[in-house]
Amino acid sequence: MRLGFGKGNGVDPTGVLNAIASAVVVANRDGNIRFVNQATEQLFNTSASVLCRTNLTDYIPGDSPVFSLIRQAIDGATLVADHNLMIESPKIGKHTVNLTVGSMPDESDCAVLTFEPRSIAQKIDNQLLSRNSARSVSAMAAILAHEIKNPLSGIRGAAQLLEQTSNEDDRVLTRLICDEADRIVDLVDRMEIFSDKPLERGAVNIHTVLEHVRRLAENGFGKHLVFEEVYDPSLPPVFGNRDQLIQVFLNLLKNAGEAVDADDGTIIISTRYQHGVRLAVAGADARVHLPLVVSVRDNGPGISPDMRESLFDPFVTTKPTGTGLGLALVAKIINDHGGVIEVKDVPGGGAEFQIMLPIYNRALAEDVDEGETMKNRGETV
pLDDT of residue 249: 95
pLDDT of residue 25: 94
CA dihedral 75, 77, 81, 86 (to 10 degrees): 40
Higher pLDDT pick, 113 / 14: 113
| C-alpha to C-alpha distance for 335 and 194, rounded to whole angstroms | 12
CA dihedral 320, 296, 194, 186 (to 10 degrees): 40
| C-alpha to C-alpha distance for 238 and 151, rounded to whole angstroms | 43
Whole-Å CA distances, 20 to 15, 16, 276: 9, 7, 9
Return the domain boundaries, the chain: 11-117, 120-191, 200-365
| C-alpha to C-alpha distance for 123 and 39, rounded to whole angstroms | 15
pLDDT of residue 142: 62
Residues 143-154 as b/e (b if ≥16 CB within 10 A, e otherwise) read ebbeeeeeebee
pLDDT band at 227 (very low <50, low <70, confident <90, very high): very high
pLDDT band at 323 (very low <50, low <70, confident <90, very high): low
pLDDT of residue 264: 82
Higher pLDDT pick, 5 / 23: 23
Whether the CB-CB separation of 251 and 326 falls below 8 Å is answered with yes
251-270 mean pLDDT: 89
92-109 mean pLDDT: 84
pLDDT of residue 91: 82
Higher pLDDT pick, 135 / 179: 179
Which of 3.40.720.10, 3.30.450.20, 3.40.50.1950, 3.40.190.10 is the CATH number of 11-117? 3.30.450.20
* Strand bridging mode 107-116 / 23-28: antiparallel
21-48 mean pLDDT: 90
Global pTM reads 0.56
Q: Per residue in 193-222, pLDDT tens? A: 666 666 788 999 999 999 999 998 998 888
Residues 89-114 as b/e (b if ≥16 CB within 10 A, e otherwise) read beebbebebebbbbbbeebeebbbbb
Across the beta sheet with 292-298, the strand order is 226-230, 266-273, 292-298, 351-357, 340-345
| C-alpha to C-alpha distance for 375 and 362, rounded to whole angstroms | 20
CATH class, domain 200-365, is alpha beta
